[in-house]
């Protein structure tokens, strides 16, 4: 049996503005994982995909329409086989499962696709680079999100914190000193596609105003990158709070997100913001290790359906 894993991710700074060419920072979240396993199947069986969490099982090439929830999986397999130059569909049983919650801004689609590409390419004897994996997963992200910036596939395929600017070579972000985050779920599913489309509509109506907000978000992201890579993490909380206010101006917060952001700050978090597309999904709080338990309890009390503590590890530049 061959397996492939991939982690979830959280965007720390710059979501939405990143779609418009501004920088964003994202980190892998190792506590959330997608797993793909592959076993040889009897000859003539074809390639059968079991997506445990979606509760679906289907054979590649059997009339899955673009509306079907498993369509991105089918597309990922097809793109990978094409990339590897495999013309005849191999006889394989492919199982996918994931602890990354769906439509919560934690990269579930990219995590599942990355695990799948890793497992399938390994099983077929190919060693794809992180960049090749990222590019394949980007094709799947287009199906999920319409006009993705590419940040999810990048951070998940490279498994490193990234400073990401659309259409620019990937920049791994060095983390001088570790820092701690709490990631709390509003329990509200929020498809990225919808929030991104709403921002686009508003930007088309008020281009100058939205461009100005994107520029302010960019300035915060630049400061945050400098703080993370120089180990001055004390600035991060304030920068998160400022980024959150700008996301509110873009119209992507929600009453549930506001409640959690406020609860985290009131309980002593160094800063808090929504993370990802917004409208629902998750928020993040920057905490000192000592505050973790108290802030997590406050978030649960304020209605968080799940709270994950995540340590952003120190790294070196690559
Ligand atoms: O909700 P998520 O984590 O998939 O994040 C979307 C991030 C956006 O900047 C809103 C969209 C994008 O493609 O970068």
pLDDT(130) > 70: yes
Regarding the beta carbon of 109 and ligand 1, being less than 6 Å apart is answered no
Say how many Å lie between the CA of residue 11 and the centre of ligand 1.
Answer: 8
The confidence score (pLDDT) of residue 40 equals 96
The confidence score (pLDDT) of residue 225 equals 98
| Residue 47 burial by Cβ neighbours in a 10 Å radius (0-12, 13-18, 19+) | buried
The confidence score (pLDDT) of residue 318 equals 52
Q: Which atom of ligand 1 has the smallest separation from the CA of 196?
A: 10
Q: What's the rounded mean pLDDT across residues 193-204?
A: 94
Taking CA atoms only, the protein residue closest to ligand 1 atom 3 is 105
Say how many Å lie between the CA of residue 104 and the centre of ligand 1.
Answer: 10
Q: What's the rounded mean pLDDT across residues 92-101?
A: 94
Q: Which atom of ligand 1 has the smallest separation from the CA of 109?
A: 4
Asked if 217 and 19 touch (Cβ cutoff 8 Å), the reply is no
Q: Which atom of ligand 1 has the smallest separation from the CA of 151?
A: 14
Catalytic residues: 152
Please state, rounded to an integer, the average pLDDT across all residues of the chain: 94
Q: What's the rounded mean pLDDT across residues 144-153?
A: 86
Regarding the beta carbon of 18 and ligand 1, being less than 6 Å apart is answered yes
- How far is residue 22's CA from residue 220's CA, in Å, rounded to a whole number? 11
The confidence score (pLDDT) of residue 101 equals 85
pLDDT(317) > 60: no
Confidence band, pLDDT 50/70/90 cuts, at residue 105:
confident
Regarding the beta carbon of 145 and ligand 1, being less than 6 Å apart is answered yes
Regarding the beta carbon of 19 and ligand 1, being less than 6 Å apart is answered yes
- The 10s digit of each residue's pLDDT in 107-119 is 889 999 999 999 9
* First-to-final CA distance of the chain: 32
Regarding the beta carbon of 107 and ligand 1, being less than 6 Å apart is answered yes
The confidence score (pLDDT) of residue 195 equals 93
The confidence score (pLDDT) of residue 63 equals 57
- The 10s digit of each residue's pLDDT in 258-274 is 999 999 999 999 999 99
For the ranges 35-39, 224-228, 232-236, 241-245, the lowest mean pLDDT is seen at: 232-236
Asked if 313 and 175 touch (Cβ cutoff 8 Å), the reply is yes
Say how many Å lie between the CA of residue 241 and the centre of ligand 1.
Answer: 19
Task: Return phi, psi of residue 126, to 5°.
Answer: -115, 145
The confidence score (pLDDT) of residue 174 equals 94
- How far is residue 289's CA from residue 311's CA, in Å, rounded to a whole number? 9
pLDDT(64) > 80: no
Regarding the beta carbon of 111 and ligand 1, being less than 6 Å apart is answered no
Q: Which residue has the higher pLDDT, 104 or 150?
A: 150
The pTM is what? Answer: 0.92
Give percent above pLDDT 70 in the chain. 99
Of 11, 14, 107, 251, the one to substitute when testing ligand 1's pocket (max ligand atoms within 8 A of C-beta) is: 11
């Amino acid at each position: 049996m061959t397996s492939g894993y991939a982690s979830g991710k959280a965007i720390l700074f710059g979501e939405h503005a990143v779609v418009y060419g501004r920088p964003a920072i994202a980190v892998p979240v190792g506590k959330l994982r997608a797993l793909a396993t592959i076993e040889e199947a009897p000859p003539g069986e074809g390639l059968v995909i079991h997506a445990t969490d979606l509760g679906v099982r289907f054979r590649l090439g059997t009339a899955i329409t673009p509306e079907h929830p498993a369509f991105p999986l089918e597309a990922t397999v097809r793109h990978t086989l094409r990339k590897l130059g495999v013309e005849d569909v191999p006889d394989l049983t492919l199982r996918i499962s994931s602890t990354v919650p769906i439509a919560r801004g934690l990269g579930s689609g990219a995590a599942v696709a990355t695990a799948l590409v890793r497992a399938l390419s390994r099983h077929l004897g190919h060693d794809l680079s992180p960049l090749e994996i990222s590019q394949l997963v980007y094709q799947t992200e287009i199906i999920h999100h319409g006009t993705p910036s590419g940040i999810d596939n990048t951070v998940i395929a490279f498994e490193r914190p990234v400073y990401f600017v659309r259409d620019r070579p990937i920049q791994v972000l060095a983390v001088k000193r570790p820092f701690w985050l709490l990631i709390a779920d509003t329990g509200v599913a929020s498809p990225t596609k919808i929030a991104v489309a709403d921002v686009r509509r508003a930007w088309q109506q008020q281009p100058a105003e939205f461009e100005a907000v994107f520029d302010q978000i960019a300035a915060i992201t630049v400061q945050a990158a400098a703080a993370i890579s120089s180990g001055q993490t004390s600035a991060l909380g304030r920068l998160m709070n400022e980024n959150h206010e700008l996301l509110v101006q873009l119209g992507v917060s929600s009453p549930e997100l506001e409640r959690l952001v406020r609860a985290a700050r009131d309980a002593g978090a160094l800063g808090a913001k929504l993370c990802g597309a917004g409208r629902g999904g998750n928020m993040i709080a920057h905490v000192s290790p000592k505050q973790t338990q108290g802030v997590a309890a406050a978030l649960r009390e304020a209605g968080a359906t799940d709270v994950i503590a995540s340590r952003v590890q120190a790294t070196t530049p690559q």
